[in-house]
Structure 1
Amino acid sequence: MRLSLISKRSLLAGPDKSAVLRLSDAQRLILSIASSWLLIIASLFYSTYALAFTSSTPIPLSRYYQDHWTTQEGLPQNTINDIAQTPEGYLWIATWEGVARYNGREFKVFSRATDSGLPDSGIRDLVVSDEGLLALDSRGGISRYQQQHFIPQADVGVMINDVLHDSQGLTWLATEGDGLYLRKDDSTELHIKSEDGLASNYVYRLVEDERGHIWVATAKGLAKVVGRQLKPVAQVPNVSIGALLKDNQGRILIGSEQGVYIADDQDITPFHPAAIPDSIISMLQDNSGALWLGTVDSGLIRVSELGIERLDVAQGLPEQYVPSLLQDKEGSIWVGTNGGLMRLREVSFININEQDGLAGNYARTLLAHSDGSVWVGSSTGLSRISSSGIEALALTIPDSTAPSVLSLAQGPEDELWVGTFSHGLLHVKDKQVIAVYGQEQGLPANKIRAILPAADGSLWLGTSLGLSQFKNGTFTNFTTANGLPNDVIMSLHQADNGDIWVGTPLGAAIIRNQTITEVDLSAQEKAEFVFGFYSEPGSEYLWLGTDRGLVRYRTQDNSVALVGIAQGLPLEKIFQPVADGKGSLWLPTNKGVTRVSLAEAHRVADGKKKAIKFTHYGEKDGLTSSQTYSGASNNAVMDNAGNIWLTTALGMMYTQPNWHTLTSSSDLPVVLETFMVGGEAQVIKDKTVLDAGTSRIQFNYAGLGYVVPERIQYRTLLVGFDKDWVNRGQQAIAEYTNLAPGHYVFKVAARYSYQDWGPPTQVSFTILPFIWQLPFFWSILACLLVISLWLLMRMRLRFIRYHAQELERQVADKTQELKHQAQAFARQARADSLTGLPNRRAFDEAMASAFSRAERTPLPITLVVLDIDHFKLVNDTWSHEVGDQVLKVVAELIRNEIREVDFPARWGGEEFTILLPNTDLMTSVLVAERLRESVMEHDFGYLAADFKLTVSIGLAEAAPGMDAVQLLANADVALYQAKGQGRNRVVTFMTEPTTMSQSSVNE
Structure 2
Amino acid sequence: MSLLKYLSLTVKVLSLSFFLCCFSAYSVNLSTVDSLPVKTSLALSDYFTETWNTPDGLPHNGINAISQTTDGYLWIGTWEGLARFNGREFKVFTRGSKIGLPDSVIKSLTSTQEGELLVAGARGGLSVRSNKQWLPQPSSSTMINDAIYDNNKNIWLALEGKGLIYRNKDTKKDTIIIDNIEAFKIVQDNEGIIWVATSKGLFSVKNKTLVRHIDERYGLPNSPAHTIILTKEKQLIVGTQQGAYKLVKGIFQPLHKRLANEKIISLLQDSDLNIWLGTNNHGIFKLSKNELEQLDESNGLPNNRVSSLYQDNEQSIWVGTSNGLFRLREMPFITLTTKQGLSGNFIRSVLSHSDGSLWVGSSKGLNKINKGLISTIKVAHSNEQLSVLSLAETPDKQVLVGTYTQGLYAVTNNKLQKLITTENGLPSNEIRSILVDSTKNIWLGTASGVVKISPDNTIEEFNKQSGLPANFIIALAEDHKGRIWIGTGNGLASYNKGSLQTYHLNDKFDAKYAFGFHVEQNSLWIASDRGLIHINLMTDEMSAVTKENGLPVDKIFQVVIDNNNTFWLSSNRGIISLTRSQINSVIQGKNKSIDYNLFAEGVGLLSSQANGGSTPAATLHDDGSVWIATAKGVSHINHERLQRMAETVLPVVIEQLNVDGKYYPLLSTVELPKGASRITIHYAGLSYLMAKQIVYQSQLIGFDKQWQNKNNQTFTEFTNLEPGNYTFQMRAKYPNGEWQENIASISFTITPFYWQTTSFKLFVIFCFCFSLYSLYRYRMIAIKRSQVKLKNLVAQQTIELQKQAELFSYQANHDQLTGLFNRRAFDGWCNNDFEKAKLANRPLTIAMLDIDHFKKVNDDYSHLIGDQVIKRIANILHKIIQDCSTETKLARWGGEEFTLLIMSDKEKAYDYCELLRITIKNYDFSDIAGDINITVSIGLTDNSEITEYDKMITRADQALYFAKHNGRNQVRIYQKSE
TM range (shorter): 0.5 to 0.7
Kindly provide the CA deviation profile for residues 214-244 of structure 1, in whole angstroms up to 9, marking residues without a partner as x. Answer: 3344444444444555264754523533222
Alpha-carbon distance in 2 for matches of 1:597, 1:46: 50
Q: What displacement does 1:686 show?
A: 2.6
Please name the residue that 2:54 is paired with: 71
For residues 283 and 422 of structure 1, what CA distance do their matches in structure 2 show? 52
Partner of 1:745: 727
Larger radius of gyration: 2
1:768 to 747, 751, 754: 751
Quick one: distance in 1 between partners of 2:249 and 2:168? 26
Amino acid at match of 2:84: R
User: What is the CA-CA distance between 1:601 and the residue it aligns to?
Assistant: 7.3
Which amino acid in the other structure matches residue 350 of structure 1?
A: T
TM-score w.r.t. structure 1 length?
0.63
The letter of the residue matching 2:289 is E
1:163 aligns with 2:163: no
Does residue 152 (structure 1) correspond to residue 132 (structure 2)? The answer is no
The answer to whether the aligner puts 1:629 opposite 2:616 as a matched pair is no
Q: How big is the shift at 1:326? A: 1.0
Distance 1:752 1:572, change over 3 A: farther
1:608 offset after TM fit, Å? 11
Q: 253, 261, 267: which is aligned to 1:283?
A: 267
Partners of 2:31 and 2:53 lie apart in 1 by 40
- The equivalent of 2:306 in structure 1 is 322
Instruction: Give me the whole-angstrom Cα distance separating, in 1, the residues matched to 2:706 and 2:530.
Output: 30
Query: Cα offset for 1:344?
Result: 1.8
Per the alignment, residue 390 of structure 1 pairs with 376
Partner secondary structure for residue 675 of structure 2:
coil
Distance 1:278 1:553 in 2: 63
Question: How far off is 1:332 after superposition?
Answer: 1.6
Structure 2 distance, partners of 1:609, 1:528, is 25
Q: Hey, what does 2:482 align to over in structure 1?
A: 498
SS of aligned partner of 1:673 = strand
Which whole-Å CA distance do the structure 2 matches of 1:123 and 1:663 have between them? 32
Matched residue of 1:184: which SS?
A: coil
Aligned-partner residue type, residue 323 of structure 2: G
Deviation at 1:683, TM superposition (A): 0.7
1:123 aligns with: 106
What letter corresponds to residue 303 of structure 1 in structure 2?
L
SS of the counterpart of 1:490? Answer: strand
Distance across 1 between alignment mates of 2:650 and 2:507: 39
CA distance in 1, matches of 2:526, 2:770: 80
Question: How far off its partner does 1:90 sit?
Answer: 1.7
Aligned twin of 1:514: 498
Partner of 2:514: 530
Report 1:159-308 matches (<5 A). Answer: 159-176=143-160, 177=162, 179-188=164-173, 191=175, 193-194=177-178, 202-227=182-207, 230=210, 232=212, 235=215, 236=218, 237-238=220-221, 240-263=224-247, 266-272=250-256, 276-305=260-289, 307-308=291-292
CA distance in 2 between counterparts of 1:681 and 1:244 reads: 43
Describe the shift of the 1:47–1:556 C-alpha distance in structure 2 as closer, same or farther (beyond 3 A): farther
Letter in 2 for 1:407: S
**Which of 304, 307, 315 is the matching residue for 1:331?**
315
Give deviations 1:305-344, integer Å, cap 9, x for gaps: 3612222233333333322111122222111122222222
Give the match for residue 867 of structure 2.
Answer: none
3-state DSSP of counterpart to 2:602: helix
Deviation at 1:702, TM superposition (A): 3.2
Between stretches 601-610 and 565-574, larger displacement belongs to 601-610
Deviations 1:721-770 (A, max 9, x none): 45655555554443333333222223344445665555442212111111
- Inter-partner Cα distance in structure 1 for 2:101 and 2:693: 36
Q: CA deviation at 1:476?
A: 3.8
Separation in 2, partners of 1:261, 1:785: 88
- Could you list the runs of 5+ residues in structure 1 that have no partner in the other structure? 1-44, 794-807, 817-1003
Question: 1:827 corresponds to which residue?
Answer: none
Which residue, 108, 115, 124 being the options, matches 2:91? 108
Q: Which amino acid aligns with 2:375?
A: G
Could you say which residue in structure 2 is the equivalent of 1:450? Answer: 433
Map 1:724-803 to 2 at 5 A: 727-728=709-710, 730-752=712-734, 757=739, 759-779=742-762
Give the direction of change, closer, same or farther, for the CA distance of 1:596–1:664 in structure 2 (3 Å limit). Answer: farther
Contact 2:201–2:214 (8 Å) recurs in 1? no
How far the C-alpha of 1:785 sits from its partner, in A, is 9.9
Number of the residue aligned with 1:340: 324
- C-alpha spacing 1:694/1:374, structure 2 compared with 1 (3 Å): closer
CA distance in 2, matches of 1:787, 1:614: 58
Alignment-derived partner of residue 139 in structure 1: 123
Matched to 2:66, the amino acid is I
CA drift at 1:135? 1.4
**Higher mean displacement: 108-117 or 587-596:** 587-596
Q: Distance in 2 between matches of 1:611 and 1:686?
A: 40
Quote the offset at 1:278 in angstroms: 2.3
Change (3 A) 1:612 1:766: same
Deviates more, 1:340-349 or 1:375-384: 375-384
Write out per-residue CA displacement over residues 900-950 of structure 1, whole angstroms, 9 at most, x where no aligned residue: xxxxxxxxxxxxxxxxxxxxxxxxxxxxxxxxxxxxxxxxxxxxxxxxxxx
- SS in structure 2 at match of 1:89: coil
Q: What letter is aligned with 1:740?
A: E
SS of the counterpart of 2:306?
A: coil
Give 2:266's aligned amino acid: S
8 Å Cα contact 2:651/2:685 also seen in 1: yes
Aligned CA-pair RMSD:
4.7
SS of alignment partner, residue 439 of structure 2: coil
Q: In 2, Cα distance between the equivalents of 1:789 and 1:543?
A: 67
Structure 1 residues 698, 529: closer, same or farther in 2, change over 3 A? Answer: same
Of stretches 213-222 and 623-632 in structure 1, the one that deviates more from structure 2 is 213-222
Change (3 A) 1:395 1:776: farther
Residue 290 (structure 1) shift: 0.8
- Cα 1:49–1:663 change in 2 (3 A) is closer
Q: TM-score, normalised by structure 2?
A: 0.65
CA gap 1:306/1:352 in 2 versus in 1, 3 angstroms:
farther
Displacement, 1:157?
A: 4.5
Q: Which amino acid aligns with 2:445?
A: G
Q: Does structure 2 retain, via aligned residues, the 8 Å contact 1:540–1:555?
A: yes
- Asked whether the 8 Å contact 2:646–2:735 carries over to 1, the reply is no
8 Å Cα contact 2:70-2:115 kept in structure 1: no
Change (3 A) 1:357 1:100: closer
Matched residues in 2 for 1:378 and 1:441: separation?
25
Q: What one-letter code is carried by the residue in structure 1 that aligns with 2:336?
A: N
Displacement of 1:92: 1.3
SS in 2 for 1:778: helix
Q: Name which of structure 1's ranges 178-187 and 301-310 shifts more when overlaid on structure 2.
A: 178-187
The answer for the alignment partner of 2:808 in structure 1 is none
Q: Which residue identity does 2:685 align to in structure 1?
A: G
Name which of 653, 669, 673 aligns with 1:671.
Answer: 653
